[in-house]
Amino acid sequence: MDKLIDRLKAEAAANDGVVSVLKNARFAVFCILLAMCFGVEMDEETVEKMDEVMKTVLITLDPRIDDYLPILSPFFSKQRKQALQVRKHQIDYIVPFIEKRREALLNPGSDRSAMSFSYLDTLFDLKVEGRKSAPSNSELVTLCSEFLNGGTDTTATALEWGIAQLIENQDIQSKLLDEIKSTVGDRKVDETDIEKLKYLQAVVKELLRRHPPTYFSLTHAATEEAATLGGYDIPTDANLEIYLPGIGDDPKIWSDPEKFDPDRFYLGKEDGDIMGVKGVKMMPFGVGRRICPGLGMATVHVHLMLARMVQEFEWSAYPANSKVDFSGKLEFTVVMKNALKATIRPRDSG
């Protein structure tokens, strides 16, 4: 969190108070996930290189028509060759970090005590059904990549949309700041404060309702015959895509669904269940047994980062007095069509 605030201050100082929201949020989230994944903090150059490798993988994996019509594969040999080269580069770059971590855990004389427990530690001896061997290095690369890519863009994108809404709704930004001041005081917001910040929780729920990370949930399929959904028969093993904004913006479910209004949850006017326990009114992380396993981690990061960003800075539009463009476009997640730039002013400057 301190690195994020310092980066924002430095960029603002160099650009007359103007900062790029998504770029800084993404870097901060990626730093957190790297430390969680490998158990050690990395220098800025390594973080940026790792991020470059991961983004290249995501770009390369954009769906192509031959994914759906394999008979066309011979026409995409060049793209397949490129994908294999990207995969080789990914493995070659990440495996040394995996081996370094493995060696540190096995060597009693290492500085393991200086490292925190990591996600990678849980994978070395992972038991896979039907196999005797532990995951190979290439499989570990894939698992680490899923962890990093699955959590970085989704969280960073949510923060960009969240700051955009706070800029456009200054009354909500002020109310959130007042809650932080009255609950936390002068010290920095930390993870243990989130449970007490009820208005912050309402802001994040409304953010996820209005701006789910993607247009569609991860693909599902019916495993049994006679499955029905919305009055339609679903064939076994057919891909099922659920359009998320259609749920979160449904006027039959929500009052004034186009309005960004945290009070609908803060004042208890509407139900803010994001897990589908009481019924599906929004599903930013999916629902049921296959709900996103990163839900808890992602929501903690969004709450904490949003709170710290509001606590430290006053956020306003750039250029001054302009309206925020809320048009979106689909990349790995749904990002703002025009990347958000904002003007910030440190709160302690008066």
- Per residue, what are the HEC states of 267-334? CCCCCCCCCCCCCCCCCECECHHHCCCCHHHHHHHHHHHHHHHHHHEEEEECCCCCCCCCCEEECCCE
What sections of the chain are H helices per DSSP?
2-14, 21-38, 44-60, 65-68, 77-106, 137-168, 170-184, 198-210, 245-248, 263-266, 295-312
Position 272 scores a pLDDT of 84
The verdict on whether residue 292 carries a ligand-binding annotation is: yes
Instruction: Decide if 170 contacts 52 (C-beta within 8 A).
Output: no
- Residue 190 DSSP SS3: coil
Position 307 scores a pLDDT of 97
Position 113 scores a pLDDT of 45
Position 350 scores a pLDDT of 43
Q: Are strands 334-336 and 328-330 parallel, antiparallel or unpaired?
A: antiparallel
DSSP 57-72: HHHHTS--HHHH-GGG
What is the C-alpha separation between 101 and 36, in angstroms, rounded?
Answer: 12
Angle at the Cα of 201 from the Cα atoms of 200 and 207, rounded to 5 degrees: 90
Position 238 scores a pLDDT of 83
Position 227 scores a pLDDT of 86
Instruction: Decide if 51 contacts 59 (C-beta within 8 A).
Output: no
Position 42 scores a pLDDT of 87
Q: How many CB atoms lie within 10 A of CB 97?
A: 20
Instruction: Decide if 332 contacts 342 (C-beta within 8 A).
Output: no
Position 329 scores a pLDDT of 92
- On whether the pTM is more than 0.95, the answer is no
- Residue 338 DSSP SS3: coil
The amino acid occupying position 23 is: K
Position 79 scores a pLDDT of 86
Residues of the chain with pLDDT under 70: 62, 108-115, 349-350
Q: What length is written for the chain? A: 350
Position 246 scores a pLDDT of 92
Q: Which domains does the chain have, with CATH numbers?
A: 2-349 (1.10.630.10)
Position 200 scores a pLDDT of 98
Position 75 scores a pLDDT of 87
